[in-house]
């Protein structure tokens, strides 16, 4: 992939400028020589003008050909990227028996999929990353009843996402097992689990297309009315109303025409439309205006109702009502409990909370 991208960049940076250079030089030569002849009454001004036009017109097809060639090379590079991606061996594979019952990502056997309630249990789970030697979790046990709101807190780089990655089966335990509704999740397909998970990233990714399209991707079988309803729950209509084409407005590549807050609203609306049994939120750390933050919180509150949820929290003031808080330090869970019980213990969580509270208080004074 890197070689293809480099080749494409080299051609764009070298071939086209050379063509443009020779085209400009040729035109300059015709102009200089023709001007000299015209001054000596050897040729007329009209003839000179015609030759200049010829010189320009000759190089236009050459420039177009150069552009077409670089487009072909760009296409080749993209094909190589897709091919490399398709040929990559996945870290996690479903067993042959599971594929036979549940199907695979291309041919899922949805008629065999069970309903999911969202009860999750970590049973004697030990885990270390494929490229690491240190055990991140060791003989870890945790039962999360269906509908429980779990908040995961810790300093930046502490390893807050590890637990979520395991629960979502982006990684699998090195030892032990993770049960979904009382059954080892390796006994069901990845697609079965992932189809029941709604994930809102810290920096949400939007696809090139319209606002409506990006919400609709949450459930491709949804009607237009259902898409609009999901959008209105989280007030995406306030974003659409500001744009000329409303819900049919283009968001740009990666959503670059929208702010971070607006992208997160659309991402939450997409999760609402998907109606997952398990919801994961990685809180945004970037600054969001007060009104948008309220809309986001309303959408999150809607998604938390009746669903098993994981919130990777960056602002501790937002997770006081969580059913259980897991405190992570240096990649390991050092404390767990409710906000009230953890504050009473005056341990690591208490230090994090008071530190952040003082920082927020200082910022308010500076405003």
Q: What is the DSSP string of 217-286?
A: TT-TT--HHHHHHHHHHTTTHHHHTTSTTGGG-B--GGGTTS-HHHHHHHHHHHHHHH--SEEEEE---S
CA distances from 205 to 141, 144, 175, 267, 269 (A): 33, 29, 33, 8, 13
Q: Which residue has the tokens 């259980």?
A: 324
Who contacts 96 (Cβ-Cβ below 8 Å, separation ≥6)?
none
Tens place of pLDDT for every residue, the chain, 367 residues? 445 555 555 666 666 677 777 777 777 887 787 777 777 777 777 777 777 777 777 767 777 776 777 777 778 778 888 888 778 878 889 999 999 999 988 899 999 999 999 999 999 999 988 887 888 888 888 899 999 999 999 887 777 888 899 999 999 999 999 999 999 999 999 999 999 999 888 888 898 899 999 999 999 999 999 999 999 999 999 999 998 899 999 998 888 888 888 898 999 999 999 999 999 988 765 567 778 888 888 888 888 888 999 998 877 877 888 999 999 887 778 999 999 999 999 999 999 888 877 766 665 555 5
Chain centre distance of CA 239: 20
Spatial contact of 227 and 234, defined as CB atoms under 8 Å apart? no
The reported pLDDT for the residue numbered 100 is 94
Closest CA to 99 of 90, 109, 89, 114: 109
CA distances from 337 to 146, 280, 288, 305, 352 (A): 17, 19, 29, 20, 15
The vertex-92 CA angle with 155 and 196, nearest 5°, equals 75
Closest CA to 130 of 92, 161, 184, 156: 92
152: left (phi over 0), alpha (psi -120 to 50) or beta: beta
Who contacts 15 (Cβ-Cβ below 8 Å, separation ≥6)?
66, 69, 70
Strands (E), the chain: 120-127, 137-144, 149-153, 175-180, 183-184, 197-200, 278-282, 308-312, 324-329, 332-337
d(CA 333, CA 348): 11
The reported pLDDT for the residue numbered 123 is 93
* Cβ neighbourhood burial of 70 (10 Å; 0-12, 13-18, 19+): middle
Residues facing residue 278 across a β-bridge = 197, 308
The vertex-31 CA angle with 27 and 36, nearest 5°, equals 155
CA distances from 142 to 214, 276, 332 (A): 35, 22, 14
The reported pLDDT for the residue numbered 227 is 94
Chain centre distance of CA 289: 21
For residue 299, what are its two tokens?
Answer: 């959408």
């Amino acid at each position: 992939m890197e070689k293809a991208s480099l080749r494409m960049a080299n051609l764009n940076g070298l071939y086209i400028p050379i063509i443009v250079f020779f085209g400009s030089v040729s035109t300059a030569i015709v102009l200089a020589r023709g001007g000299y002849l015209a001054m000596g009454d050897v040729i007329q001004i009209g003839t000179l003008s015609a030759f200049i036009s010829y010189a320009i017109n000759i190089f236009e097809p050459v420039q177009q050909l150069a552009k077409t060639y670089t487009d072909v090379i760009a296409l080749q590079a993209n094909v190589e990227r897709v091919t490399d991606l398709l040929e990559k061996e996945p870290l996690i594979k479903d067993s042959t028996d599971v594929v036979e019952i549940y199907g695979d990502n291309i041919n899922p056997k949805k008629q065999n999929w069970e309903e999911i309630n969202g009860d999750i249990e970590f049973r004697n789970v030990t885990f270390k990353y494929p490229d690491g030697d240190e055990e991140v979790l060791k003989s870890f046990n945790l039962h999360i009843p269906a509908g429980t709101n779990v908040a995961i807190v810790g300093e930046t780089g502490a390893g807050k996402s590890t637990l979520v990655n395991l629960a979502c089966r982006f990684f699998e335990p090195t030892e032990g097992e993770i049960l979904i509704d009382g059954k080892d999740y390796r006994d069901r397909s990845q697609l079965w689990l992932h189809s029941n998970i709604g994930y809102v990233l810290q920096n949400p990714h939007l696809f090139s297309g319209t606002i409506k399209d990006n919400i609709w991707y949450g459930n491709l079988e949804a009607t237009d009315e259902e898409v609009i309803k999901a959008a209105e729950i989280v007030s995406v209509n306030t974003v659409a109303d500001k744009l000329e084409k409303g819900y049919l407005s283009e968001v740009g590549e990666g959503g670059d025409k929208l702010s971070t807050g607006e992208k997160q609203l659309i991402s939450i609306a997409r999760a609402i439309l998907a109606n997952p049994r398990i919801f994961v939120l990685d809180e945004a750390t970037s600054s969001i205006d007060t009104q948008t933050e309220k809309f986001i919180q309303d959408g999150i509150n809607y998604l938390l109702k009746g669903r098993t949820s994981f919130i990777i929290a960056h602002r501790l003031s937002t997770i006081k009502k969580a059913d259980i808080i897991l405190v992570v330090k240096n990649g390991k869970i050092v404390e767990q409990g409710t906000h009230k019980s953890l504050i009473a213990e005056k341990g690591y969580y208490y230090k994090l909370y008071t530190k952040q509270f003082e920082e927020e208080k200082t910022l308010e004074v500076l405003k």
